[in-house]
Every structure is written in C-alpha cells, then in structure tokens.
C-alpha cells in the first residue's frame, strides 16, 4: 500500500464541504450504463488486465464456519493465485503474481499471518463490530487493537450507519478519528460505508468525504453482507469524492468495491471506471482493491481461455 509517510493524515471536519455535496442521480446512471460497453479491452491487453485484477484482490473469507484449514487454503491460493504453467504460457517471467491481501475476521488473523509468512502479502482484518457496527465503541476499538496485535496490517472498519442516516457528521468523524488513531502507524485503515444501508447517493458522497477527512487510507463500498453490495453507481460517486479530496488536499485515497463481484467482466468494468475517473495509478493494489471470495475462479478461467481458446472443465481449475 501507499508508503506510511505519504498517507492521508486527515483534515479538520469541514461541514460546509459536506453539506454542499450534490449528486445528479440520472447523470450517474447514464455514465455507468455506458461503462462496460464503451471500453472494450482489446484481446492483446485482456490478459494484462486480468492479471492486474488478480493483484488487486483482497482474497476474503468472512463466514461463520471459517476454520484454520480454510484460512490456510485461502493463503496458499493467495500466494499462488495463477498456476505456474499458465503464467509461463502468458510470458510472465521473473514477476511474482500474488493477490493484494487476505482478509479475515480478527480471530483468524494469527493463522493467516503464519500461513503467509515471508510472502509479503499483508493480512487485512475486518473490525469494529463487522458487519453491523452496532457493538459498544470500546469493544469496537478493542477489536482493532486485537487484530493489529495478531499481525494485521490493514484494518477494514465499518461505520455506524445511524450517523449517516441522521446526518450526524461530527459523530461519524469523531468515531472514525478514534479508529484511525488506534490503527496508528501499524495498519492502514479501510473504511466500509455499507452503501446498501444508506438512503441516497448524496449520503454516500457525504460519508465518503467525512471518512477521508477522518484519515481513511481507503474507502470501501460494502461489507458483502448487505442486501445490495458494490454497484457501479455508488462506486462512481465514491471515486469522484476521492478525486475531489485529492484536488483539495493533495492526498490520494484508495478505493475498494466489495460484495457480489465474482466475474472477470465485472472486475474489468471497475478497472475501466478507475482508469477513466482517477487514472492509471488507481489500477494498482496500493490504491485499488476488490474485496472478493470467488472472483479469482473466474479470472483464472478467463486467463485459461485466453491461452487455449476454450474453457477448462471445473476440475481442471483447482482453487487451492
């Protein structure tokens, strides 16, 4: 991720800026409707885009039945997401392809850190009463501390949606400032807005701005547990808030869509969005992640098709 000395330190809460937020819903809908068809990736570039998407995945397991064995298998896949013979046929030599991070619950962080030792792949942990954010504040802060103590280097915090829904921007800001202070220099903070629980696109924009003012390193769409998770509409609003924040402060904030992104076609639509709205820097894992558990299967399948011209049978595509 972005080096510590260039991290977003946050800014004082600027309520005038927050209250001036405005989103033209029909313009947003028109813009994203054109996105998947408008930027058709030329065949020669497809493999490069697919491989880049692999490196931007936060490979995730956040299930009630997570076990040490499942975490170990996930970490093995994270270290070698694409089979070596396929990489060879793609002409990728001397370059290690790994995912961006492995994301787990706080209680599974130690196992993931152990399994990833020496790989350079960071462990991300959800925290702060994920997914609902309804536990008492001291408990939410303690979760961050526990995850960092166990070795997490990225913390995906979830906001209290009530602060957004009631327009209590100071409460949201103060809460996130405490989370950021707890992360300190030990871990980067990704702030989950749970956009499916928010009422309007304007609230998405306002929450994005407050999260960045409070010092978030990344803003993230969803927990993956809401009824509606990542959509291109909310993503467009969030990335434009990132651009606005960059123009005003000079700090680059990362973006992470999460939940329901399970096909290469979807991943490339998000990559096109990042490229067109923020530029090539936001195609790299230090500023762009995709939270996903099953996306990797389809990316590998599409790469196999690119190499061979046909799709492999499922049993030929081992997923760790």
pLDDT confidence band for 319 (50 / 70 / 90): very low
E strands, 87-239, in order: 101-104, 123-127, 154-158, 188-192, 218-220
- For residue 1, pLDDT over 80 is answered with no
Q: Which pLDDT score, from 0 to 100, does residue 320 have?
A: 41
Q: How confident is the model at residue 317 (pLDDT cuts 50, 70, 90)?
A: low
Is residue 4's pLDDT more than 60? no
pLDDT of the residue at 3? 42
Give the pLDDT confidence of 132-173 residue by residue, as tens digits.
999 999 999 999 999 999 999 999 999 999 999 999 999 999
CA distance 129 to 150: 17
* Peptide linkage before 131 cis (omega within 30 of 0): yes
- Please determine, for residue 289, whether its predicted confidence score (pLDDT) is greater than 50: yes
Residue 37 pLDDT class (50, 70, 90 cuts) = low
Fold of the domain spanning 10-310: TIM Barrel (3.20.20)
| Percent of the chain surpassing pLDDT 90 | 88
* CA pair distance 229, 92, nearest whole angstrom: 34
Looking at residue 35, what is its pLDDT?
Answer: 82
Catalytic positions, please? Answer: 156, 220, 256
Confidence of residue 34 (pLDDT cuts 50, 70, 90): confident
5 pLDDT above the threshold of 60: no
Q: Which of 246, 235, 192, 252 is nearest to 36 (CA)?
A: 235
Q: What is the pLDDT of residues 99-128, one digit of tens each?
A: 999 999 999 999 999 999 999 999 999 999
**% the chain with pLDDT above 70:** 94
pLDDT class of 6 with cuts at 50, 70, 90: confident
**pLDDT, tens digit, 9 for 90 and up, residues 197-247:** 998 999 999 999 999 999 999 999 999 999 999 999 999 999 999 999 999
N-terminal to C-terminal alpha carbon distance within the chain: 25
Q: How confident is the model at residue 279 (pLDDT cuts 50, 70, 90)?
A: very high
Distance CA 250, CA 247 (A): 6
Q: Residues 271, 301: contact at Cβ < 8 Å? A: no
Give pLDDT, residue 307. 92
pTM equals 0.95
* Owner of token pair 């492995």: 102
């Amino acid at each position: 991720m972005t080096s510590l000395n260039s991290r977003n330190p946050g800014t004082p809460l600027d309520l005038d800026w927050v209250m001036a937020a405005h989103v033209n819903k029909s313009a947003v809908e028109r813009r994203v409707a054109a996105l998947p068809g408008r930027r058709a990736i030329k065949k020669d570039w497809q493999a490069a885009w697919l491989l880049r998407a692999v490196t931007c995945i936060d490979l995730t397991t956040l299930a009630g039945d997570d076990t040490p064995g499942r975490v170990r298998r996930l970490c093995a896949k994270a270290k070698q997401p694409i089979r070596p013979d396929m990489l060879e046929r793609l002409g990728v030599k001397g370059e290690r392809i790994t995912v961006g991070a492995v994301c787990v619950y706080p209680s599974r962080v130690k196992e993931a850190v152990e399994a990833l030792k020496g790989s350079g792949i960071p462990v991300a942990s959800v925290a702060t009463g994920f997914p609902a954010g309804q536990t008492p504040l001291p408990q939410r802060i303690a979760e961050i501390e526990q995850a960092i103590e166990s070795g997490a280097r990225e913390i995906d915090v979830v906001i209290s949606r009530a602060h957004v829904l009631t327009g209590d921007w100071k409460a949201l800001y103060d809460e996130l400032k405490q989370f950021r202070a707890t992360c300190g220099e030990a871990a980067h903070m990704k702030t989950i807005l749970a956009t499916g629980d928010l009422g309007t696109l304007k609230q998405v924009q306002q929450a994005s701005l407050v999260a960045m003012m409070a010092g978030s390193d990344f803003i993230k769409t969803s927990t993956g547990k809401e009824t509606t998770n990542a959509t291109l509409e909310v993503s467009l609003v969030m990335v434009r808030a990132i651009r606005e924040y960059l123009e005003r402060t000079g700090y680059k904030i990362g973006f992470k869509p999460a939940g329901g992104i399970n096909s290469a076609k979807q991943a490339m639509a998000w990559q096109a969005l990042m490229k067109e709205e923020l530029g090539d820097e936001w195609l790299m894992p230090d500023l762009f992640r995709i939270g996903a558990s099953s996306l990797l299967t389809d990316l590998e399948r599409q790469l196999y098709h690119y190499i061979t011209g046909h799709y492999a049978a499922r049993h030929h595509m081992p997923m760790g």
